[in-house]
Every structure is written in structure tokens, then in C-alpha cells.
Structure 1
Amino acid sequence: MRLVAAFLFAAVPASHVLATPCWDVAARRYGVAPELLYAVARTESGLNPKAVNRAHAKRTGSYDIGLMQINSRHLPRLAGFGIREADLYDACINLQVGAWLMADSFSRHGITWNAVGAYNAACSQLKGDACTHARSAYAWKVYRHLPSATPRRAAAPIRSAAGVAALRQPQHVRVAP
């Protein structure tokens, strides 16, 4: 099934990638709009489920994997849910993990563009204005990658109503990817 899903994802042109069931499943499960997930994936990997970014490995000791560029520092936590590094090259699994991490960011930072920026810039090394700038720059990149049919709202990132309600429940962020 995973192989079929990955093949279907790869076979779908970028303009129709939101029609793939994986996007809707991840969006519904974690309350993050599929348009936002698409914009993050486009920003992170150019929609490439096999992408690996080791550019910051020497500086941070970590690297990014797959469609949503899941950082390797999450691997020990993901292993507790039975997800291995090799699994993150499956577009649907990677998308689920990315949606889970975005929902967690919303729960920690509110439903804001800062939370979208925190998906990429955790600011464990950056502080103050440098952190704010990194998050703002990333959020702007994501915003520009929103599908053109998506209403653009500068005040808050796209979020589903179900997701807003789910974030009010403390157990939401403890759900396994």
C-alpha cells in the first residue's frame, strides 16, 4: 500500500498534488489545511519525497529528510511510534509526520505565522532578532507557495476549524504521527 501511495504521489503533476489522498488524510488528522502542508512541502523540498538536506549537518549535527524535510533530531521520538528513517522517504508517512510537527508548533506558538516559521527555525541556536528574522523569512516563503486558488490571509496561517478545536484538547499533540 505504501509503495502504491508513493507511486501515485510521484505520478501526480505538482498542480494536482493536493488531490492525492495523503494530503487530505494528514490535514484532517492534525487539523492543518492541506494548502498549508502543500506550501511547506514546496518550500522545504520542492515537492521531492526523496530530498535530503545535509547543508547544516556540521553546524547542527542534524539533517532533513523527505517531502516535508523532517529533521533527523526527531528520529528517536519517531522510533517510539515505529517510524524509521527509511520510512520518511515515503511521501505519505513524511507528510503525516510533517502535519504532526506543524500541529505541535501551532499548539506551542499559537495559530500564527511565527508557528509556521518555527516549523523550520526552532531557534535552539538563534536567539532574539536573529530567531524572529529566520522565522519571518521562512513563513514568507511558505506564504508565497500557497496555491493561487487559496485565499491569502496575512493575519493567520490557514488552519481548519476541526484543527482549532482539536488544539484546545491537550492530548492532541501527543497523538502519534
Structure 2
Amino acid sequence: MRRAMTYGFGMVLLIAPCALAYADCFEAAGTYHGVNPVILRAIAWQESRFRPDAVNRNANQSVDMGMMQINSIHLPELSRYGVEAKTLYDGCASIYIGAWHLRRKMNKYGNTWTAVGAYHSETPALRDRYAASVVAIIRGWSIPAAGGNTRPASD
């Protein structure tokens, strides 16, 4: 039995319960938002080790939620698309929302490691450390991240 699920941003997926692997979600979200699915996977590993129920409470009282650890500061904007906090604990929805967040950073910084690092923080030292962590994850997997290499188009 399939059911339609809408994840905001005009995304509708037909999902057979327990049949849609997260791998499909990374590919579909990457295609939909024009971001590299390998980089999305590495971000998910860095953020939660692929755990859709992950929660991290931050010192500033914000909360990172779900597989892609979307911060609660984004909830007001996400609510305009019908996305609630509980949506972030749906693994596939979290991947789409993480891809949306990465795409926003790419729109600002281009297809660069700066954009990947800004997924986590726009503070230069934190941003650069995060990007280096994502690169290390991808290299550890021995998977080319983009166009046959582990670097976005520039940086």
C-alpha cells in the first residue's frame, strides 16, 4: 500500500511503508535541490550517524533535530511550508530539508566547501572545520563527491 507524503517545498513522495530506503531519499533530495547526494550522506553521517531520532540541545537553547540535525531556529521559516518540528524526525523528510538548507548555502557561497561548511556554521573557523570533517568522511568512504573528485566546483 502506497501513501502520498508531502514534505513542503512542493515535494510529494509516494512511499510504501518501510520500503523506501534512505539511499533513495538522498538521491531524490539531491536531484530535487540540485545538491550532491554523496555530500548529503556525509553531512547526515557527521550530524547523526544516520539516526532519524537524533536530538542535540545547544548552549543557546536551540535544538538540532533529526538525521540532518536541522536547528530549531529554522522552524519559523519551515512552518511556512507546512514543516513542523516532528517532521524533522522523519528520516526522508529530514534529508529533503537538509538538502534545502544546503542549497540555500550554495546559493549564497556557490558550489564550494564554504557552502558545505556553512551548513553547520557561517563562523569561519567552525565552517572550515566542519567542511574538513565532511571531506574526511567522503575520503574515508573512498567515494568521489562531485565530478570525479572530492571538491565542489571551486574553493
| Superposition TM-score tier, normalisation by shorter sequence | 0.7 to 0.9
Structure 2 equivalent of residue 148 of structure 1: 142
Counterpart contact for 1:62–1:73, Cα < 8 Å: yes
1:76 to partner: Cα distance: 1.0
Q: SS of 1:53's equivalent? A: strand
1:47 to partner: Cα distance: 0.8
Counterpart contact for 1:49–1:66, Cα < 8 Å: yes
| Larger helix proportion of the pair | 1
- Measure the CA separation in 2 of the matches of 1:157 and 1:61: 36
1:6 to partner: Cα distance: 7.4
Structure 2 equivalent of residue 163 of structure 1: none
**What CA RMSD, in Å, does the superposition of the two structures yield over aligned residues?**
2.1
Structure 1 equivalent of residue 24 of structure 2: 21
Which TM-score applies when normalising by structure 2?
A: 0.79
Which consecutive segments of 4 or more residues in structure 1 shift more than 4 A?
Answer: none
Name the amino acid aligned to 1:109.
Y
State how many pairs are aligned: 137
Structure 2 equivalent of residue 84 of structure 1: 84
- Measure the CA separation in 1 of the matches of 2:113 and 2:91: 24
Structure 2 equivalent of residue 61 of structure 1: 61
1:60 to partner: Cα distance: 2.0
Q: SS of 2:105's equivalent? A: helix
Name the amino acid aligned to 2:46.
T
| Larger strand proportion of the pair | 2
Question: Which runs of 5 or more structure 1 residues have no equivalent in the other structure?
Answer: 123-130, 159-177
Name the amino acid aligned to 1:153.
T
Structure 2 equivalent of residue 108 of structure 1: 108
1:111 to partner: Cα distance: 1.5
Question: Which runs of 5 or more structure 2 residues have no equivalent in the other structure?
Answer: 6-14
User: 1:15-54 alignment to 2 at 5 Å?
Assistant: 20-54=23-57
Q: SS of 1:111's equivalent? A: coil
Which TM-score applies when normalising by structure 1?
A: 0.70
Identity %: 36
- Measure the CA separation in 2 of the matches of 1:97 and 1:35: 16
